């Protein structure tokens, strides 16, 4: 394998995992972040967020992996620089590219200040999720940065390499991806990226994480605009699949069908597939809401009404309100009621609370006069003090003590295996369990003495 020298700008969920995985497979990697505290912590072996397997991976790859706040030095040394900074939604839903832009300019400046002798052009890889056309935009900004600092005669290529990792299994997803997508308008940049990813594509790196024989990873090469669109289309499809099953769940409730059985029945059809067919509170997190919003904004920029995507969002918003409606149906007034939220992270196995449904539900319940107590096995620490409307506890039974109702918001293993009889014994009447993830069997809950309400069933 050819060893590359790699820079990764943005040591967040995507950047840090990418950096650690590339170091694990044999490259030399420097992660750059503007957050000094984050970099200092990483240099002392502290990972700034919860991601299974990441701390061990960083420790194992440590001699090929370093952390800094100094971008210019890194740009001068590396063959490839990944941009993995955040692209949050702006006011109108479109992606805010200001961090990507400032990194691109800084890369251009650094290149111009020390052009040196490069064996090959610097490859600037956009891993942040960005709208179509951002490849050209980044290329322009690198050039402008170079013109600010010198004569602008610098040699670089821009590549789009969207990321598909899932928080909670990010290390696994990066080492054993379903596919690697690369967009570039120049062949030589794609060749460099193919060589960089070779150990992952060929699956020939040391595999402590998964000793099974592995097939080669599909490697999709295309133009930059298509690569950028693949990322948005993938997330929009997944969000739509969840909204679809939630639409069906609403109809199931009316006709007396059980959506969990319906999902099993349709999911076995190979054309449909069983994943992402869980009805409930709906999708949240740092990616789906912002990426669907960004894609809708792109469509509108061109005068195209994204009707299906609009409906995807409408259905998702309705699912949150369904939680309130289900509570109101059995509790009548929500004023003066204590309600336990079981799970706060936007999904299991992460401590990420960005756009978590729990936060919106807590706000809504508080505005209706309830007292809201939230439990999460991992995200509780982060959730403390986040919302004045939400009291955070570290034990699920403490949350359930004296609660009139509990809502399963995140289907953590710790939430799925609660002792329902114990829960019923410490809750207040009507001991309502609103199962926002259809995590429990309705009969088990009823036998334990709870009033059970699922989504699309019971
Ligand atoms: P994050 O917020 O976890 O991390 C971003 C990091 O970038 C932070 O540490 C921040 O300090 C750093 N940063 C911001 N501006 C910087 C600058 N100018 N210079 C140096 N560092 C800077 O974000 P994330 O979740 O890793 O997402 C990064 C990108 O990847 C986004 O575009 C996101 O949409 C995309 N993405 C995220 C996921 C995911 O599951 N989180 C999955 C696929 C794609």
Q: Is the CB of 174 under 6 A from ligand 1?
A: no
Span 209-221, average pLDDT: 80
Q: Is the CB of 274 under 6 A from ligand 1?
A: no
| Alpha carbon of 9 to ligand 1 centroid (Å) | 9
- Distance, C-alpha 415 to centroid of its chain: 21
Span 310-338, average pLDDT: 98
Q: Is the CB of 230 under 6 A from ligand 1?
A: no
Q: Is the CB of 177 under 6 A from ligand 1?
A: no
pLDDT digit string (tens) for 11-66? Answer: 999 999 999 999 999 999 999 999 999 999 999 999 999 999 999 999 999 999 99
Is a pLDDT exceeding 80 seen at residue 70? yes
| Alpha carbon of 87 to ligand 1 centroid (Å) | 7
- Provide the pairing of β-strand 405-408 with 338-342: parallel
Best residue for ligand 1 mutational test, from 7, 11, 13, 141 (most atoms within 8 Å of Cβ): 13
* Residue minimizing CA distance to atom 4 of ligand 1: 12
Q: Is the CB of 161 under 6 A from ligand 1?
A: no
Count of CB atoms situated within 10 Å of the CB of 362: 28
| Alpha carbon of 35 to ligand 1 centroid (Å) | 12
* Superfamily the domain 259-453 falls into: NAD(P)-binding Rossmann-like Domain (3.40.50.720)
* Residue minimizing CA distance to atom 12 of ligand 1: 10
| Alpha carbon of 355 to ligand 1 centroid (Å) | 15
- Set 21, 31, 252, 287: catalytic member: 287
Are 201 and 243 contacting, i.e. CB atoms less than 8 angstroms apart?
no
Count of CB atoms situated within 10 Å of the CB of 329: 11
pLDDT digit string (tens) for 126-181? Answer: 999 999 999 999 999 999 999 999 887 899 999 999 999 999 999 999 999 999 99
Q: Does domain 5-222 have CATH number 3.40.50.1220?
A: no
Best residue for ligand 1 mutational test, from 68, 70, 81, 85 (most atoms within 8 Å of Cβ): 85
Q: Is the CB of 232 under 6 A from ligand 1?
A: no
Span 241-260, average pLDDT: 98
| Alpha carbon of 14 to ligand 1 centroid (Å) | 6
Domain boundaries, the chain: 5-222, 259-453
| Alpha carbon of 88 to ligand 1 centroid (Å) | 9
pLDDT digit string (tens) for 193-212? Answer: 999 999 999 998 876 666 66
Span 382-386, average pLDDT: 94
Whether 287 is catalytic: yes
Sheet holding 65-68, edge to edge: 65-68, 28-32, 5-9, 80-83, 122-126, 156-160, 180-183, 219-222
pLDDT band at 118 (very low <50, low <70, confident <90, very high): confident
The per-residue pLDDT for 114 is: 78
Is a pLDDT exceeding 90 seen at residue 214? no
Q: How big is the chain, counted in residues?
A: 458
The per-residue pLDDT for 141 is: 97
Span 105-110, average pLDDT: 96
The per-residue pLDDT for 212 is: 64
Task: With CA atoms as reference, report the closest residue to 357 among 293, 404, 289.
Answer: 289
* Letter string b/e over residues 174-183, b meaning 16 or more CB atoms within 10 A of that residue's CB: bbbbeebbbb
Rounded Cα gap, residues 388 and 86, in angstroms: 26
Residue 157 token pair: 């290529």
Atom of ligand 1 nearest to the CA of 48: 9
pTM (two decimals): 0.95
| Average confidence score pLDDT of the chain | 95
Q: Is the CB of 102 under 6 A from ligand 1?
A: yes
Residue 205 token pair: 């790196």
Q: Is the CB of 100 under 6 A from ligand 1?
A: no
5-222 and 259-453 in the same fold = yes
The per-residue pLDDT for 210 is: 62
116 burial (CB, 10 Å; 0-12 / 13-18 / 19+) is exposed
Residue 78 token pair: 């590396």
Q: Is the CB of 85 under 6 A from ligand 1?
A: yes
């Amino acid at each position: 394998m050819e060893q590359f020298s790699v820079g990764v700008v943005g040591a967040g969920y995507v950047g840090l995992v990418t950096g650690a995985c590339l170091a694990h497979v044999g490259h030399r990697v420097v992660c750059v972040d503007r957050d000094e505290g984050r970099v200092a912590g990483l240099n002392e072996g502290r990972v700034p967020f919860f991601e299974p397997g990441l701390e061990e991976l960083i420790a194992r790859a440590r001699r090929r992996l370093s952390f800094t706040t100094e971008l210019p030095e890194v740009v001068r040394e590396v063959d490839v620089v990944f941009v993995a900074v955040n692209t949050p939604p702006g006011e109108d839903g479109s992606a805010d590219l200001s961090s990507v832009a400032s990194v691109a300019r800084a890369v251009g400046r650094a290149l111009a200040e020390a052009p040196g002798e490069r064996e090959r052009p610097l490859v600037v890889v956009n891993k942040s999720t960005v709208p179509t056309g951002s490849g050209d935009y980044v290329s322009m900004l690198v050039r402008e940065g170079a013109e600010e600092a010198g004569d602008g005669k610098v040699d670089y290529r821009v590549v789009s390499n969207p990321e598909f990792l899932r928080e909670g299994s990010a290390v696994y997803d990066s080492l054993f991806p379903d596919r690697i997508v690369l967009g570039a308008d120049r062949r030589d940049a794609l060749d460099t990226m193919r060589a960089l990813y070779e150990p992952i594509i060929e699956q020939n790196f040391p595999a402590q994480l998964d000793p099974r024989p592995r097939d080669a990873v599909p490697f999709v090469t295309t133009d930059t605009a298509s690569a950028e669109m693949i990322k948005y289309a993938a997330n929009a499809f997944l969000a739509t699949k969840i909204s679809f099953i939630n639409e069906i769940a609403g109809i199931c409730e009316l006709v007396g069908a059980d959506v969990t059985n319906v999902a099993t029945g349709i999911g076995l059809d190979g054309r449909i597939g069983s994943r992402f067919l869980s009805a409930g509170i709906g999708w949240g997190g740092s990616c789906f809401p912002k990426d669907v919003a960004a894609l809708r904004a792109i469509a509108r920029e061109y005068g195209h009404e994204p009707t299906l995507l609009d409906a995807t969002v409408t259905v998702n918003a309705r699912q949150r309100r369904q939680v309130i409606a289900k509570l109101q149906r059995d509790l009548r007034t929500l004023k003066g009621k204590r309600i336990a939220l079981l799970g706060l992270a936007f999904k299991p196995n992460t401590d990420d609370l960005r756009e978590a449904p729990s936060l919106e539900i807590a706000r809504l319940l508080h505005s209706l006069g309830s007292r809201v107590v939230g439990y999460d096995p991992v995200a509780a620490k982060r959730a403390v003090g986040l919302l004045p409307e939400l009291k955070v506890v570290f034990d699920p039974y403490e949350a359930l003590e004296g609660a009139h109702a509990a809502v399963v918001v995140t289907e953590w293993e710790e939430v799925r295996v609660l002792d329902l009889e114990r829960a019923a014994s410490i809750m207040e009447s009507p001991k309502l369990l609103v199962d926002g993830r259809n995590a429990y069997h309705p009969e088990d809950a009823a036998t334990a003495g709870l009033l059970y309400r699922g989504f699309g069933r019971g």
